[in-house]
Chains A and B, each alone.
Chain A
Amino acid sequence: MTFWQSVLDPFHYQFFQKGLLAAVLAGGLCGLIGVYVTLRGMSYIGHGLSHAIFGGFAAAPLIGVNVVLGAGVWGLASALAISAVTRRRRIGADAAIGVVTTASFALGVALLTRFGKKGPDFEAALFGGINGVTRGDLVLLVVALVFAVTVFTVRYRAFLFTTFDPEVADVSGVRVARMDALLMLVLSLSILATLTIIGVTLVAATLVIPAVVARMLTNSFSRMLWLSSTIGALCGGVGMYLSFQVAVPSGTTIVLTNTVVFLIVLAATGRRGLRRTARMDDHHEAPVGPGAPIGVAA
Chain B
Amino acid sequence: MSPSALVSLDHVTFGYDGAPVLKDVTYAVEPGAFTGIVGPSGSGKTSLLRLLLGTVTAHHGTVTRTPGLAVSYVPQLETVNWNFPVTVHECVLMSRASRRLLPWATAQERADVATVLERLGIADLGQRHIRELSGGQQQRMFIARALVRRPALLLMDEPTSGVDVATRHEVLHLLDDLNRGGLAIVLTTHDLNGMAAHLPHLVALQQRVIAMGTPQEVIVPSVLEQVFGARMEVLMHLGMPVVVDGHAAAAVGA
A289 to B56, CA, bound (A): 11
- Whether the Cβ atoms of A172 and B73 lie closer than 8 Å is yes
Residues from chain B with a CB closer than 8 A to the CB of A218 are 85
A293 in contact (CB, < 8 A): yes
- Whether the Cβ atoms of A222 and B90 lie closer than 8 Å is yes
CB contact list, A202-259 vs B, under 8 A = 215, 218-222, 224
- Whether the Cβ atoms of A164 and B17 lie closer than 8 Å is no
Residues from chain A with a CB closer than 8 A to the CB of B90 are 160, 220-222
A-B contact count (CB 8 A): 118
- Whether the Cβ atoms of A290 and B16 lie closer than 8 Å is yes
CB within 8 A of A290: which of B21, B83, B87? B21
B96 in contact (CB, < 8 A): yes
Rounded to whole Å, the gap between the CB of A204 and the closest CB of chain B is 21
CB within 8 A of A294: which of B55, B94, B100, B103? B55
Closest A-chain residue to B101, C-beta based?
A: A154
CB within 8 A of A164: which of B94, B98, B100? B94
- Whether the Cβ atoms of B100 and A172 lie closer than 8 Å is no
Residues from chain A with a CB closer than 8 A to the CB of B179 are none
Closest A-chain residue to B128, C-beta based?
A: A219
CB contact list, A130-164 vs B, under 8 A = 153-158, 160-161, 163-164
Residues from chain B with a CB closer than 8 A to the CB of A278 are 83
- Return the CB mask of A274-294 against B: 1 if under 8 Å, else 0: 011011101100001111111
- Return the CB mask of B78-115 against A: 1 if under 8 Å, else 0: 01110111110011011111101111000000000000
Residues from chain B with a CB closer than 8 A to the CB of A172 are 72-73, 94-95, 97-98, 149
- Whether the Cβ atoms of A157 and B94 lie closer than 8 Å is yes
> Given A172-B72, A290-B16, A294-B55, A276 and B83 touching (CB < 8 A)?
yes
Closest A-chain residue to B97, C-beta based?
A: A157
- Whether the Cβ atoms of A220 and B46 lie closer than 8 Å is no
Residues from chain B with a CB closer than 8 A to the CB of A219 are 85-87, 129
Residues from chain A with a CB closer than 8 A to the CB of B76 are 293
> Given A290-B16, A297-B50, A161 and B94 touching (CB < 8 A)?
yes
- Whether the Cβ atoms of B94 and A173 lie closer than 8 Å is no
CB within 8 A of B17: which of A221, A289, A295? A289
- Whether the Cβ atoms of B97 and A160 lie closer than 8 Å is yes
Residues from chain A with a CB closer than 8 A to the CB of B72 are 172
A171 in contact (CB, < 8 A): yes
CB within 8 A of A298: which of B17, B98, B102, B129? B17
A25 to B46, CA, bound (A): 47
> Given A172-B149, A222-B90, A279-B83, A165 and B75 touching (CB < 8 A)?
yes
A289 to B157, CA, bound (A): 16
CB within 8 A of A156: which of B47, B50, B91, B103? B103
A290 to B42, CA, bound (A): 7
Closest B-chain residue to A293, C-beta based?
A: B79
Residues from chain B with a CB closer than 8 A to the CB of A279 are 81, 83
CB within 8 A of A173: which of B56, B86, B98? B98
Residues from chain A with a CB closer than 8 A to the CB of B17 are 289, 298
A219 to B128, CA, bound (A): 9
A168 in contact (CB, < 8 A): yes
Q: Return 30 A-B CB contacts under 8 Å, by A number.
A: A153-B102, A154-B102, A161-B95, A164-B84, A165-B75, A165-B80, A167-B79, A168-B73, A171-B71, A172-B72, A172-B95, A219-B87, A220-B85, A220-B90, A222-B103, A224-B85, A275-B83, A276-B83, A276-B85, A283-B81, A289-B16, A290-B42, A290-B46, A290-B47, A291-B42, A291-B46, A294-B75, A295-B53, A297-B16, A298-B16
Interfacial residues, chain A to chain B (CB-CB below 8 A): 39, 153-158, 160-161, 163-165, 167-174, 215, 218-222, 224, 275-276, 278-280, 282-283, 288-295, 297-298
Beyond contacts A293-B75, A293-B79: 6 other A-B pairs, Cβ-Cβ < 8 A, are A153-B102, A157-B97, A220-B90, A220-B129, A290-B21, A294-B49
Interfacial residues, chain B to chain A (CB-CB below 8 A): 16-17, 21, 41-42, 44, 46-47, 49-50, 53, 55-56, 71-73, 75-76, 79-81, 83-87, 90-91, 93-98, 100-103, 129, 149, 157
Closest 8 pairs (CB-CB, A-B): A173-B98, A156-B103, A157-B97, A219-B129, A161-B94, A282-B81, A289-B16, A161-B97
